[in-house]
A and B are shown apart, each in its own frame.
Chain A
Amino acid sequence: MEKSAWFVWPFMLGFMFALAVLLLRYLWWLRSLLRRPSSRLLSRMFSKHSLLAVREIFSEGLLHLRIYKRNRRLGFMHMSLALGWFMMIVGGKFETWFHSGQFLHGTWYAVFFRYFEPQTVGGWAGTFWLHYMDFGLLLVLTGLALAIVKRIRKKVLGIHSTTRHTLVNRVALTFLWMIFPLRLVAEALTFGQHGGGGFLTGALGRCCFTSGTLAGLELPFWWAYSLSLGAFFVVLPFSRYLHIPTEMVLILLRHWGLQAAEDLQPEKALQAFEIHACSSCGLCLDVCPAIKDHPFQSAYFLRALRSGKGWESLASTCLSCGACEEACPINLGLEKLRMAARGKIHEKHHAVYSYLPTVGPVETSKVDVLLFTGCMGRLKPATTKALKDLFEEAGLSWVHLDEQESICCGRPLALAGRASEASALREHNRSLIKGQQARMLVTTCPICLKQFRDDYRLELPVYHHSEVLWSCLSSGSLKREKGTACFSYHDPCELGRKSTCYQAPRELLQSCGTLLSLEREQADALCCGNSLGSLSLSLSERQALTSRTLKVLEVPGAQSIVTSCPLCQHNLARQSSLPVKDLAEVLAVTGLPEQQGQRKAALAAVQEL
Chain B
Amino acid sequence: MPKPDFGFSFAPNRALELSVPLLPEVQAVLEAEPSIRACMACGQCAAVCTAGVFTPLAFYRLVLQLWAGEVEVVGQRAQHCMLCGKCQMTCPRGVNIRNALLLMAALLPPKP
Contact = CB atoms under 8 A, between A and B. Distances in A.
A376 B87 CA distance: 10
Interface string A354-378: 0111000000000000000001101
Contacts of A353: 80, 82
Given A349-B105, A408-B84, A412-B85, A355 B54 contact: yes
A351 interface: yes
B108 A350 contact: yes
A407 interface: yes
Given A416-B83, A567-B89, A539 B35 contact: yes
Interface stretch (B11-19, B61-69, B94-102): B94-102
Interface string A401-413: 0000111100011
A316 B96 CA distance: 11
B32 to A, nearest CB: 8
A425 interface: yes
A349 B104 CA distance: 8
Nearest to A414: B83
Contacts of A418: 83, 102
B98 A355 contact: no
B44 to A, nearest CB: 11
B26 interface: no
Contacts of A425: 82
Nearest to A415: B83
B85 A532 contact: yes
Given A346-B102, A536-B96, A542-B94, A379 B83 contact: no
Contacts of A350: 79, 105-106, 108-110
B106 A346 contact: yes
A352 interface: yes
A406 B86 CA distance: 11
Contacts of B102: 346, 349, 416, 418, 535
Contacts of A346: 102-103, 106
Contacts of B85: 375-376, 412, 532, 567
A540 B55 CA distance: 32
Contacts of B50: 375, 378, 405-408
Nearest to B33: A536
B108 A413 contact: no
A357 B54 contact: yes
B79 A352 contact: yes
Identify which of B33, B102, B103, B109 gathers the most chain A CB atoms within 10 Å of its CB: B102
Given A352-B79, A353-B80, A375 B86 contact: yes
Interface in B49-78: 50-51, 53-55
A570 B83 contact: no
Contacts of B82: 351, 353, 375, 407-408, 412-413, 425
B98 A535 contact: yes
A413 B99 CA distance: 11
Given A351-B105, A536-B33, A412 B84 contact: yes
Nearest to B34: A538
Contacts of B79: 350-352
Nearest to A424: B82
A457 interface: no
A348 interface: yes
Nearest to A380: B89
A427 B35 CA distance: 33
Nearest to A412: B83
Contacts of B109: 348, 350
10 contacts: A351-B82, A353-B82, A355-B55, A376-B85, A378-B48, A379-B48, A405-B50, A405-B53, A567-B89, A571-B89
Interface of B: 33, 35, 38, 48, 50-51, 53-55, 79-86, 89-90, 93-94, 96, 98-99, 102-103, 105-106, 108-110
Given A353-B82, A375-B86, 14 more contacts: A346-B103, A350-B105, A355-B54, A355-B80, A357-B54, A379-B48, A408-B82, A413-B82, A416-B83, A418-B83, A530-B89, A535-B102, A536-B33, A536-B99
Please list the 4 inter-chain residue pairs (A to B) with the smallest Cβ-Cβ separation, ordered nearest first: A539-B94, A350-B110, A348-B106, A375-B84
Interface of A: 316, 346, 348-353, 355-357, 375-376, 378-379, 405-408, 412-413, 416, 418, 425, 530, 532, 535-540, 542, 567, 570-571
